[in-house]
């Protein structure tokens, strides 16, 4: 069965068509600037030339039509007709407390995703547009929703409640949800597989380090804590997000700089993190090269980024009462050796021994800890699309 995976943003659609029998990506691509001047499709069919098509698109329906046309095109297509798409898996950011796992989409599911819009006002409406666009162009194809939050629904109350009046949880659902669930789930399972041990027997800390970054404590295959909260702003310092800070800073900034709450929100989400501290870039490649050539602010940004990850690893080892495995994944976790080194050094007291040579050797799906390290450290290439496709296939096949 071929499964189309869709990740819809407010003006974009990312897609992958995966042949699930071989678990092979047939084509992937991106539609950008939907509803904006310069709308375009970049389509990458496996084994063929990449194509770029610029054409106006008024909405996500136009975008989806273009994607399907590209997939069946006689030159750069990869399937003969739409009938060869068995199902569609949609990434949905916020499932709130309604969804503890992936589900087949029907009217009730759509209504529940709508209900969670206040929890993710930027993301869920875009995901809903993506689903509706797909339903309108392929009404008979089964659709599945896979939620970023679902994997973390196993957290106990002591981990997900905030120290706020309980009424705010009961009435407004203010609690920790966590994100990157498909990634934390994928890499924790993959770690167990690579180590040849049942995931049920392992205490794993998974570090998803990309533009958005989060850490999870995965005990026996279940998420028991994670660093992102009600929104993705909490936890680690990220590309442009501040991560953990004293919430009183919000009022202080509003008072001192006469800012609106929207101004402060923008500072915390878009102008902070690596970008804010370095005053240079949100991209780790720029930060490491500037730090290496003596830029003090970039060096501080790099140190802060790593120090905070290290603190979470320590905290989650304590939360689980032990630690067997650390996984590093996503753009930074998979590619930046200096970050891995700074995160892991100083954790010897927990039983972590990093192998410097392995760490420098562009590791992928392998150990970077020494043979005698009590805690195994793995670099794993995350694959959120494959996780979505597998869940979709499982649900469609019943
Ligand atoms: P997201 O999916 O959250 O947008 P990614 O997982 O792609 O983010 O990670 C983006 C981050 O990873 C950026 O900071 C970027 O500098 C870093 N990164 C990605 N690839 C590389 C690489 N080959 N070398 C160094 N850094 C990389």
| Ligand 1 midpoint to CA 106 (Å) | 35
Q: Which residues are annotated as a binding site for ATP?
A: 14, 208-212, 283-285, 331-335
What's the chain's average pLDDT? 97
Atom of ligand 1 nearest to the CA of 282: 14
Handedness of CA 385, 390, 395, 397 (dihedral sign): positive
The distance from CA 192 to its chain's CA centroid, rounded to whole angstroms, is: 20
Q: Residues lining ligand 1, CB < 6 A?
A: 210-212, 239, 283-285, 330-332, 335-336
Nearest Cα residue to atom 19 of ligand 1: 331
Q: Whole-angstrom Cα distance, residue 368 to residue 384?
A: 22
Average pLDDT estimate for 95-121: 95
Q: Which residues are annotated as a binding site for substrate?
A: 91
| Ligand 1 midpoint to CA 288 (Å) | 12
pLDDT at 398 over 90: no
Mutate which of 285, 328, 383 for ligand 1 pocket (most atoms within 8 A of beta carbon): 285
**Which residue in the list 59, 69, 148, 257 is annotated as catalytic?**
148
The distance from CA 93 to its chain's CA centroid, rounded to whole angstroms, is: 9
Q: What confidence tens digit (pLDDT) does each residue in 334-378 have? A: 999 999 999 999 999 999 999 999 999 999 999 999 999 999 999
Nearest Cα residue to atom 7 of ligand 1: 331
148 belongs to the catalytic site: yes
| Ligand 1 midpoint to CA 74 (Å) | 34
Q: Whole-angstrom Cα distance, residue 398 to residue 387?
A: 17
Residues of the chain with pLDDT > 90, as a percent, come to 99
User: What's residue 203's pLDDT?
Assistant: 98
pLDDT band, residue 122 (cuts 50/70/90): confident
State which H helix or E strand residue 377 sits in.
strand 376-379
Angle at 365 between CA 363 and CA 368, to 5 degrees: 50
Atom of ligand 1 nearest to the CA of 239: 14
Q: Whole-angstrom Cα distance, residue 192 to residue 376?
A: 11
Nearest Cα residue to atom 22 of ligand 1: 335
Atom of ligand 1 nearest to the CA of 283: 14
Atom of ligand 1 nearest to the CA of 330: 6
pLDDT at 176 over 90: yes
Average pLDDT estimate for 134-142: 95
């Amino acid at each position: 069965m071929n499964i189309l995976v869709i990740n819809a943003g407010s003006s974009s659609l990312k897609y992958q068509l995966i042949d699930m029998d071989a678990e092979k990506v047939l084509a992937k691509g991106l539609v950008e600037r939907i509803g904006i001047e310069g709308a375009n499709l970049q389509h990458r069919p496996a084994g063929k030339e990449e194509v770029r098509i610029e054409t106006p698109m008024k909405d996500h329906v136009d975008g989806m039509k273009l994607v399907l046309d590209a997939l069946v095109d006689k030159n750069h297509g990869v399937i003969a007709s739409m009938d060869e798409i068995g199902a569609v898996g949609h990434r949905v950011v916020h499932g709130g407390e309604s969804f503890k796992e992936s589900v087949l989409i029907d009217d009730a599911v759509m209504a529940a995703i709508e209900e969670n819009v206040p929890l993710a006002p930027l993301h869920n409406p875009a995901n809903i547009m993506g689903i509706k666009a797909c339903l309108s162009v392929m009404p008979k194809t089964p659709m599945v929703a896979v939620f970023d939050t679902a994997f973390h629904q196993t957290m106990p109350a002591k981990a997900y409640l905030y120290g706020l009046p309980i009424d705010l949880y009961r009435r407004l659902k203010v609690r920790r949800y966590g994100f990157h669930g498909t990634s934390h789930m994928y890499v924790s399972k993959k770690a167990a597989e690579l180590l040849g041990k049942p995931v049920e027997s392992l205490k794993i800390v998974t570090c998803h380090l990309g533009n958005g970054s989060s850490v999870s404590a995965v005990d026996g295959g279940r998420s028991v804590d994670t660093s992102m909260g009600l929104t993705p702003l909490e936890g680690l310092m990220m590309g442009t997000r501040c991560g953990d800070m004293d919430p009183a800073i919000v009022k202080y900034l509003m008072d001192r700089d006469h800012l609106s709450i929207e101004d402060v929100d923008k500072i915390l989400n878009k102008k902070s993190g690596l970008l804010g501290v370095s005053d240079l870039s949100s991209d780790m490649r720029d930060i490491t090269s500037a730090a290496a050539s003596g830029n003090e602010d970039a060096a501080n940004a790099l140190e802060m980024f790593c120090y905070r990850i290290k603190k979470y690893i320590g905290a989650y080892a304590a939360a689980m009462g032990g630690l067997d495995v650390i996984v590093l994944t996503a753009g930074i976790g998979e590619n930046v050796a200096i970050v891995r080194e700074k995160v892991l050094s100083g954790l010897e007291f927990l039983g972590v021994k990093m192998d410097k040579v392995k760490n420098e050797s562009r590791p992928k799906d392998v150990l970077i800890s020494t043979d005698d390290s009590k805690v195994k450290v793995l670099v794993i290439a995350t694959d959120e699309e494959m996780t979505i496709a597998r869940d979709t296939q499982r649900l469609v096949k019943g």
